């Protein structure tokens, strides 16, 4: 059986890294260790994960030395299938210039839907494409691709323990919103809806994990007509001034908590304190890891009924935002993107506030669905099969 070679870095910090980590863990359990073409960030991983994957560093060092002797020319990996990490526009990273397998598979979760001749040419270099949503699959099929596989991402239940509420935020009705701040993630809609909701329910508190490791990319939130500017970047820290920005748009400091950058062990304890989570995202190329983590922790979730979110939405598992208005964009880069209704977000928050028992029952159903059906191990099994 051919070895799978991964062109991206393994880490437990972001989605791509988690895809790699859990794929590698599954392959190790199968006694089929992958070949790593980027040095893994072991320091970012839990000790148990580090221990299981440490031996893969030797293979990375060997292939890197061989590549260096090859003088930067593309090295053909015999008896390997290379999985190439791709970004919007089907652009690949540096390792894909250095290595080619006997088979080459593109792996992508895209939100930019422009498929001009140049993009199509890049996409058709691969023997197969693996995506992480039905939304991406259907767009590729509509452009004539006939070998597209879907592997839906998940959560690690061992990372998401079910914890009791500690009262960290007192007796407030805590609403969570997570995801790096940008137009696509629709934090502008969260602020607008929460502002209305808080005026009716002063005990409500918005708790956010919105920081963006690439803060300049948050500037596109200013495209929204609901706000007048993007958050400023603090010159001293390089971080977004999120609480200041929220206050300027109607959510006062006493109703807002900025969690800053949070690490994985902090996620479950924070979510244990929350009564609701809002994800009115305009587009998701995959299925939204943060939303799945909230569901896995038993938080009642509000999800926009569009793009990759549709692979998460099930009857009685969440409150879906059905009122969707297409995002207009002349260059055809945002097919399937849509705006959620602020009024519908508020109505769903009211429902969760007024009907706590029903909200808990809904969240319990979602928790079972995610923790059983949408695990990283299930993802890895399907991802590996899709690559064979």
Q: Is the CB of residue 280 less than 8 Å from the CB of residue 322?
A: no
Structure tokens given for 330: 């002349």
Radius of gyration of the chain (CA): 21
Task: For domain 159-373, give its CATH number from 3.65.10.10, 3.40.50.10490, 3.40.50.2000, 3.30.420.40.
Answer: 3.40.50.2000
Q: Which two tokens stand for residue 267?
A: 């996620």
CA 247/CA 179 separation, integer angstroms: 19
pLDDT of residue 330: 73
Secondary structure class of 152 (helix, strand, coil): coil
| Residues 358, 348: Cα–Cα separation, whole Å | 12
Residues in the chain: 388
How far is the CA of 369 from the CAs of 43, 90, 114, in angstroms?
A: 31, 32, 34
Question: Does residue 294 contact residue 271 with C-beta atoms inside 8 Å?
Answer: yes
pLDDT (0 to 100) of residue 169: 97
Domains of the chain: which residue ranges? Answer: 3-150, 159-373
DSSP codes of every residue in 281-327:
-S--SS--HHHHHHHHTT--EEEESSGGGGGT--TTTSEEE--EEEP
Burial-class residue 94 by CB neighbours within 10 Å (0-12, 13-18, 19+): exposed
Q: Do domains 3-150 and 159-373 have the same CATH topology?
A: yes
Partners of residue 155 on adjacent β-strands: 375
Q: What is the pLDDT of residue 329?
A: 79
Which pair of structure tokens corresponds to residue 291? Answer: 């939303």
Q: Are 122 and 90 in contact (CB under 8 A)?
A: yes
In order along its 388 residues, the chain shows pLDDT tens digits of: 899 999 999 999 999 999 999 999 999 999 999 999 999 999 999 999 999 999 999 999 999 999 999 887 889 999 999 999 999 999 999 999 999 999 999 999 999 999 999 999 999 999 999 999 999 999 999 999 999 999 999 999 999 999 999 999 999 999 999 999 999 999 999 999 999 999 999 999 999 999 998 999 999 999 999 999 999 999 999 999 999 999 999 999 999 999 999 988 999 999 999 999 999 999 999 999 999 999 999 999 999 999 999 999 998 999 999 999 999 877 789 999 999 999 999 999 999 999 999 999 999 999 999 999 999 999 999 999 999 9
Q: Does the global pTM surpass 0.85?
A: yes
Question: Which CATH number applies to 3-150?
Answer: 3.40.50
CB 377 within 8 A of CB 22: yes
Interacting residues of 81 by C-beta distance below 8 A, sequence separation 6+: 2, 3, 4, 5, 101, 102, 103, 104, 105, 387, 388
Report which of 351, 306, 347 is spatially closest to residue 324, judged by C-alpha positions: 306
pLDDT at res. 73: 87
Burial status of residue 279 (CB atoms within 10 A of its CB: 0-12, 13-18, 19 or more): buried
Taking the C-alpha atoms of residue 210 and residue 247, their distance in angstroms, rounded to an integer, is 15
Listed in sequence order, the DSSP H helices in the chain are 15-29, 47-53, 56-69, 95-98, 117-123, 134-142, 187-200, 242-248, 264-271, 289-296, 342-354, 356-373, 376-387
Calculate the CA dihedral of residues 324, 326, 327, 332 and round it to 10 degrees: 150
Place of tokens 């949070």: 262
Lookup result for tokens 């803060």: 215
């Amino acid at each position: 059986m051919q070895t799978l070679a991964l062109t991206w870095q393994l880490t437990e910090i972001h989605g791509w890294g988690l895809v790699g980590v859990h794929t590698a863990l599954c392959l190790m359990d199968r006694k089929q260790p992958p070949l790593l073409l980027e040095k893994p960030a072991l320091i970012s991983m839990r000790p148990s994960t580090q221990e299981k994957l440490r031996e893969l560093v030797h293979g990375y060092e060997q292939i890197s030395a061989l590549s260096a002797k090859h003088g930067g020319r593309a090295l053909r990996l015999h008896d390997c299938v290379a999985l190439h990490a791709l970004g919007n526009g089907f652009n690949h990273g540096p390792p894909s210039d250095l290595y080619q397998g006997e088979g080459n598979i593109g792996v992508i979760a895209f939100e930019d839907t422009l498929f001009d001749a140049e993009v199509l040419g890049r996409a058709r270099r691969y023997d197969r494409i693996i995506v992480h949503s039905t939304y991406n699959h259907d767009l590729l099929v509509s452009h004539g691709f006939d070998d597209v596989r879907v592997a839906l991402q998940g959560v690690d239940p061992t990372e998401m323990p079910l914890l009791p509420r500690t009262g960290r935020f007192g007796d407030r009705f805590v609403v969570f919103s997570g995801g790096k701040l940008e137009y696509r993630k629709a934090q502008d809609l969260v602020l607008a809806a929460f502002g209305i909701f808080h005026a009716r329910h002063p005990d409500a508190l918005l708790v956010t994990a919105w920081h963006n490791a690439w803060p300049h990319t948050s500037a596109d939130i200013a495209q929204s007509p609901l706000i007048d500017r993007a958050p400023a970047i603090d010159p001293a820290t390089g971080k977004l001034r999120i609480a200041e920005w929220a206050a300027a748009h109607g959510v006062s400091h006493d109703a807002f908590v900025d969690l800053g950058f949070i690490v994985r062990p902090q996620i479950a304890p924070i979510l244990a304190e929350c009564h609701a989570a809002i994800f009115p995202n305009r587009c998701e190329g995959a299925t939204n890891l943060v939303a799945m983590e909230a569901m896995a922790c038993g938080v009642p979730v509000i999800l926009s009924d569009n793009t990759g979110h549709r692979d998460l939405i099930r009857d009685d598992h969440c409150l879906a935002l059905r009122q969707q208005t297409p995002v207009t964009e002349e260059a055809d880069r945002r097919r399937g993107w849509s705006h959620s209704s602020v009024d519908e977000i508020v109505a769903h928050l009211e429902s969760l506030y007024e009907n706590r028992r029903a909200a808990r029952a809904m969240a319990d159903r979602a928790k079972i669905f995610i923790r059983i059906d949408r695990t990283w191990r299930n993802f890895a099994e399907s991802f590996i099969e899709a690559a064979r």
